[in-house]
Structure 1
Amino acid sequence: MTAAARLIAVLGRELAVEASGRHLSRVAAPFALAGVLLAGLAFGPVPSVLRGVAPGLPWLVVLLLAASLSLTVAVAEQEDGCWDLLRCLAGPGPLLGGKLIAMWVWLAATWAVTAGLGVVVLGVGLSPAAVPAALLGTLGLAAAVVVYGTTVAAAGRSGTGLLTALILPAGLPARLAGTQAGTPGVDPVPWLALLVAYDLAGLAVAWAVFPTLLEE
């Protein structure tokens, strides 16, 4: 089996696990709705205030949810007792690629749901550049989440609280640049360039450390 076929197989397994467990629909969607409603209550009905916080709200929800999603990176394999078998059969590259793409989908979907709820519930809009910014930012964040989740799996979940705190600073560049790029009236080009650099750095780190994490 080629590396591409193994990657597709890992991605298909991730999608199948989500379809059976419904983690995204059971946790992410209610979390996004709660975030939007709490923002509406906290900032009040003033349109100018809501327009100011709307670009950053989806990123806040995504960043807060990323820590809990990272704990699901290898939980299904550990519960089934096949984590060691999967990492031996798939190999570092396909395993990283499949899990990273799946996590990218979950994070981007969470951003989209939160942004859509913000438009409907709060009645505020985003800049057209918010969509490419979301795709770029969630890619780099997905790389950090997969590395974090694999670290937890390798460590047998020891130090989980500390590692959960560490992933929040790792996602701050995505939140900052994504918020600015999605703000109407702000030139998105420098912020999109920053997100590209963030992705390249995150992917490079993930590619470098992932094989070592699998050997733990």
Structure 2
Amino acid sequence: MAFEWIGEENYLRERVARNSARTRGANCTSADAAVMFERTDGRRQIVLIEWKYTESYGGLSLKIAKSGTDRTGIYRWLFDGDNCPIDKALLPDFDRLFYEPFYQFMRQQFLASRMEMAKELGADLVSLLHIAPNQNTDFWKVTSPELRELGKTATDVWKRLVGGCGRFMSVSTEELFGGLSSDRLPEMAAWLEYIAARYPWVRGSVRI
């Protein structure tokens, strides 16, 4: 397990200041965490994890950065490539992705795809897992106007764009903790008590 994972290489060819190293969580695409494990079929998988809490996004396009840089120029080659993980038949216009959270989904999905192609750390599969509270209804809104016809929530839209290849999964915080109980996991009792106290809105999902 690692936090603020950016990949071992600059797979997305993001711009780095001259003579500077990439920094986790700053000015380059990263995931909140990365977990690697061996599956029951013997294959090694890395899951990039992104979790949200109170985030919400408006309908502002991020295509042009404050510096004046057109961000499509940075990632266009990934979208145009034969190995693009996004269904371009459903997304004829690349600009539609430059609204949060789709802009982040896109970059993290590209990172996962390129890590898999490079077999980073010996991984056979690299996927993206997104976690957010059901109660944060602002986050689930589809902020990109021309993507609203593809789904009711941001994650529904992204699942459709990525397809059924198992490379993107979304789960609510409540669902994730709902199966945990101190009866089944007594060694986690103190942690479960902390979660229930720290996040009262998830209390009903945690069985202490």
Q: In proportion to residue count, which structure has more strand?
A: 2
Q: Please indicate, yes or no, whether the TM-score normalized by the shorter chain is above 0.5.
A: no
The structure with the greater share of residues assigned to helix is 1
Higher relative contact order (CA 8 A, sep 6+): 1
TM-score range, shorter chain: under 0.3
